């Protein structure tokens, strides 16, 4: 089973959490080899890779993301699973930070974003989006 967009229950659970505190969103993304744009989209049939389409998603959403106070705080390229299913594979991993959950909700409900997200939908084979409450790290793991 793949996950590209949240279910209604997941989105409702997100909205039920506090909206006025900073949040970070852990993104794990597996890309399609070839982007799958719907017929009628300007990029349909152009042979774009999933990575190219995902980069287009990033470029088109950047101004909106930044205008709401969002910033990317960490990015990495997963190299292998140490603990977990051996066949699990992710192409991209990053953490996006928002000043509050309201900023994230403002982004994903913005009418322009609905056009931008078509690039993500065309690019992504599977994903995980996990809301995090930022903590100040302690001296040991998990502190």
pLDDT, residue 95, reads 98
Residue 139 in any domain: the answer is no
pLDDT, residue 87, reads 84
Residue 12 in any domain: the answer is no
Residue bearing tokens 């990317």: 72
47: left (phi over 0), alpha (psi -120 to 50) or beta: left
Residue 9 in any domain: the answer is no
Q: What is the CATH number of the domain that holds 99?
A: 3.30.70.100
Residue 138 in any domain: the answer is no
Residue 16 in any domain: the answer is no
Residue 87 in any domain: the answer is yes
pLDDT, residue 63, reads 97
Pair of tokens at residue 107: 């982004």
Residue 95 in any domain: the answer is yes
Residue 11 in any domain: the answer is no
Q: Which domain holds residue 30?
A: 21-132
Tally of domains within the chain: 1
Render each residue's pLDDT in the chain as its tens digit; 143 residues. 778 889 999 999 999 999 999 999 999 999 999 999 999 999 999 999 999 999 999 999 999 999 999 999 999 999 999 999 888 899 999 999 999 999 999 999 999 999 999 999 999 999 999 999 999 888 887 77
């Amino acid at each position: 089973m793949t996950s590209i967009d949240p279910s209604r229950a997941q989105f409702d659970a997100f909205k039920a959490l506090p909206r006025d505190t900073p949040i970070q969103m852990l993104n794990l993304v597996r890309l399609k080899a070839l982007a799958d744009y719907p017929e009628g989209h300007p990029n349909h049939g152009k042979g774009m890779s999933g990575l190219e389409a995902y980069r287009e998603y990033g470029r088109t959403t950047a101004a909106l993301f930044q205008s709401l106070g969002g910033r990317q705080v960490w990015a990495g390229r997963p190299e292998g699973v140490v603990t977990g299913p051996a066949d699990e594979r992710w192409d991209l991993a990053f953490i996006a930070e928002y000043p509050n959950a309201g900023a994230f909700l403002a982004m994903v409900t913005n009418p322009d974003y609905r056009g931008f997200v078509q690039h993500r939908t065309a690019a992504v084979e599977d994903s995980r989006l996990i809301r995090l409450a930022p903590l100040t790290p302690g001296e040991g793991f998990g502190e």
